[in-house]
Structure 1
């Protein structure tokens, strides 16, 4: 087998693992209980209006896609994991939102160049393993003069710190991949997009999550509902001491962040315009 064929096979295997990971647990519950306010915030920042052609990359169950459709956009919600799209279809129907749902890899989108007026992603594309490839695709499918909108957890914020806590217990990342919270650094995103965009506007903001009254409640929810956390725990399932250590570390993280019954999680909201 040639080196190119080996690389393709490795990429297929990696994407299959990602697809499986995000189908674990109950990510739609995370979207509802933890990040429900983020989708509307991104849609507002992108100024989506009637008739805009909108692509939501790594859309999950539609946290941003559905609000974009309700704002009048002609929306395609794309995601690597079909199980999440299936949940999104039901949610969209219940809320009276009309949009299309399509399985797609963020690093190899099945759309024509310049096909969309707005290309956005809400804590989604940040989890694509090859950052430059994903950035190249989101720029490619945005029309000249169109809007790119990205909302990502920062490394310093609560969710970024959760990933830092889990890292020593996780399987080693494949060569050439990059950690998701880098998308929460403005300079990293600017470097990925380069001179292909103008009018970059970036703000760090916080979302207040008042779902969990105790640190252990947060930990147990993420252990059972959030694919990345489930995957990490499965990696150490045969090691009770490491499992207990991770249990304590996640509870300590949440305990240190809980203030008046709420946890604040920082994110980066960045918009830009595709150069002509």
Structure 2
């Protein structure tokens, strides 16, 4: 890690405000199919103890519970936990959702058969702490599986666009480094016997135009909503133009809608047995 990191509590408070801003539940609806496919590849058996770290509104936790897992979900944002609980109640699913910190999980050692995180734990500001916690709460022989946006792909480049206009706190590494295989191997080297990584292509599909997609994320996606709030009018317009240009370059739709391919790095690690 480089640079001088500000007070960690200040960073955490800012992160909480970021993910509570907007309404990530609206964004999550458009990526639920990513989560469904990710969970399907975990081959869940009834009774498997599964922890979803940075669970958001339950995109992984809910299909995992449907498949028979005993699920716990942890997230830093209170409002997202409330949405996750509401979704679980609506389906009659018994899932434990709690507010918590990926860098300091209030959970016993080796208490889960599988620990998962999709576009979640990668945002923890101190990745070495988050990595250690993912390993600590997984039982020996259990699985840790992550989906992390990759640096030089669509979402990684979008992070850079936003960061040029509203820089992140100094010293906090890019979340997209969790999408770099070499970095992941370094971060998960302790307590792991096997680790494999592979890129996975996913689709963002919206039934509206690129400018409407950008406005949708400005309104509902916390990191962009908070970046927008930090800027003056000229800065906001520049950010909007750059985001529209980014989405337009990658848009494959020709009917006025928006369809973009993105890639995440699937990480699957096995906790050492000794």
1:236-274 per-position Cα deviation (integer Å, ceiling 9, x unaligned): 1x2x22222111100000100100241111111111110
- How many pairs does the alignment contain? 265
Query: How many Å separate the matches in 2 of 1:58 and 1:129?
Result: 13
2:265 corresponds in structure 1 to 268
1:105-142 per-position Cα deviation (integer Å, ceiling 9, x unaligned): 00000011111110110100011111111001100110
Q: Does 1:181 align with 2:210?
A: no
* Equivalent residues of 1:42, 1:149 under 8 A apart: no
Shift of 1:224: 0.3
SS class of match (1:210)? strand
1:208 corresponds in structure 2 to 203
Q: Does 1:224 align with 2:219?
A: yes
* Equivalent residues of 1:150, 1:271 under 8 A apart: yes
Q: Does 1:39 align with 2:35?
A: yes
* Equivalent residues of 1:150, 1:270 under 8 A apart: yes
Aligned partner (choices 211, 225, 248) of residue 255 of structure 1: 248
Once superposed, what is the RMSD of the aligned Cα atoms? 1.5
Q: Does 1:158 align with 2:154?
A: yes
SS class of match (1:109)? coil
* Equivalent residues of 1:42, 1:150 under 8 A apart: no
* Equivalent residues of 1:46, 1:147 under 8 A apart: no
Structure 2 residue ranges without an equivalent (≥5):
none
Q: Does 1:17 align with 2:14?
A: yes
* Equivalent residues of 1:54, 1:116 under 8 A apart: yes
Shift of 1:47: 2.3
* Equivalent residues of 1:24, 1:226 under 8 A apart: yes
Query: How many Å separate the matches in 2 of 1:96 and 1:203?
Result: 34
Query: How many Å separate the matches in 2 of 1:157 and 1:19?
Result: 26
1:194 corresponds in structure 2 to 189
Q: Does 1:81 align with 2:77?
A: yes
Query: How many Å separate the matches in 2 of 1:99 and 1:73?
Result: 9
* Equivalent residues of 1:171, 1:235 under 8 A apart: no
TM-score by length of 2: 0.93
Structure 1 residue ranges without an equivalent (≥5):
1-6
SS class of match (2:32)? coil
1:91 corresponds in structure 2 to 87
TM-score by length of 1: 0.92
2:26 corresponds in structure 1 to 29
